[in-house]
Amino acid sequence: MNWKKIAMSFLLAAGLPLARNAQAQTTYEEMEQLTVNEQITTVITASEPVRFVDISTDKVAGDQPIDNIIRLKPKESGHGDGEILAIVTIVTERYRTQYALIYTTRMKEAVTDKEILLQERNAYNNPAVSMSTADMTHHARRIWNSPAKIRNVATKAHRMVMRLNNIYSVGNYFFIDFSIENKTNIRFDIDEIRIKLTDKKLAKATNAQTIELTPALVLEPGKTFRHGYRNVIVVKKMTFPNDKLLTIEMTEKQISGRNISLNIDYEDILAADSFHADLLEEE
């Protein structure tokens, strides 16, 4: 990930101020300072997914191995104690923070593990995020625990039944709640879950097109089940023509593995807007 090249364009697009008035200015001396050493990896953990990171100089290398973790390490030795190597800026879905990275020649003084504390977070309305992952997960969990309201959308294959339970429209997203009943005694080891738009008459179409969709969230990470399975997939709100189906496909890991797909008609997607929001507002 080349953070340096996209830093300026992100700041402009996101509306982050490039200059502050005198009352709002912050110097590196006022920032939280993290001591670093080239022999030590400094791991910074955020409370939610990190959307953007900028390291102000090339003296420090960094990467983002998972959504809420940043790793930093000076590229070389030869710096003096107290030398400022870089300022690191971290922007999550709902806040941003900055740290001054200060070099130390003493390895035992280098910070190895840093959690972004509440008082270090500056609230930020990220225009690229219409719903935070935390809020999305909260809504999805309530839907997952709710009774099924849809009874007539299902698929049967390999002595399994895949059913659509609910569709909710929340903000800019559709929350699709589905379940699988496995009527065999053979455990199903999930290889992948895919969601896509497919032609209704795929077999007869001369120019059939399948569009793969990337879910914004898959609630349950579990990879195996024996008899019963339920999950909620969140996708960006969309419209599609009546000759298309929204398809959720689950495949098994084994070479001769089973697969099952659930086709959701556009009319069922439209019905999502008619569902009452009381479920999502309950505490």
When pLDDT is averaged across residues 187-197 and rounded to a whole number, the result is: 91
When pLDDT is averaged across residues 151-159 and rounded to a whole number, the result is: 91
Domain-wise residue ranges, the chain: 27-126, 132-272
pLDDT at 268 over 90: no
Instruction: Please give the CATH topology (third level) of the domain spanning 27-126.
Output: Immunoglobulin-like (2.60.40)
Contacts of 79 (CB under 8 A, 6+ apart): 59, 85, 103, 105
Q: Quickly tell me which residue has 């959308």 as its tokens.
A: 153
What is the value of pTM for the model shown?
0.69
Q: What is the pLDDT of residues 8-46, one digit of tens each?
A: 444 444 444 443 444 456 777 788 999 999 999 999 999
Residue 269 exposure: Cα atoms within 13 Å on the Cβ side: 20
State residue 280's pLDDT score: 57
pLDDT at 200 over 80: no
Of residues 25 and 110, the one with the higher pLDDT is 110
Of residues 214 and 125, the one with the higher pLDDT is 214
DSSP 183: -
State residue 267's pLDDT score: 78
Q: Which of 166, 142, 138, 139 is nearest to 152 (CA)?
A: 166
Q: What is the pLDDT confidence band of residue 208, given thresholds at 50, 70 and 90?
A: low
State residue 33's pLDDT score: 94
The Cα–Cα gap between 9 and 18 comes to 11
Q: Containing H/E element for 278?
A: helix 278-281
Lookup: tokens for 76: 């070389």
Domains 27-126 and 132-272 share a fold: yes
Q: Mean pLDDT of all residues in the chain?
A: 84
State residue 12's pLDDT score: 43
Q: What is the pLDDT confidence band of residue 56, given thresholds at 50, 70 and 90?
A: very high
The Cα–Cα gap between 164 and 148 comes to 8
Backbone angles phi and psi of 139, in degrees to 5: -65, -45
Instruction: Please give the CATH topology (third level) of the domain spanning 132-272.
Output: Immunoglobulin-like (2.60.40)
State residue 132's pLDDT score: 87
73, 38 Cβ separation under 8 angstroms: yes
State residue 23's pLDDT score: 45
pLDDT at 270 over 70: yes
Q: According to the per-residue pLDDT averaged within each range, which of 110-114, 120-124, 220-224, 242-246 is highest?
A: 110-114
pLDDT at 203 over 70: no
Of residues 239 and 2, the one with the higher pLDDT is 239
Q: What is the signed CA dihedral for 62, 70, 12, 135, rounded to 10 degrees?
A: 160
Distance, CA of 189 to chain centre? 23
Q: According to the per-residue pLDDT averaged within each range, which of 109-123, 126-140, 262-276 is highest?
A: 109-123
State residue 281's pLDDT score: 57
State residue 227's pLDDT score: 92
What letter represents residue 33's amino acid? Q
Of residues 255 and 117, the one with the higher pLDDT is 117
State residue 6's pLDDT score: 44
pLDDT at 151 over 70: yes
State residue 256's pLDDT score: 64
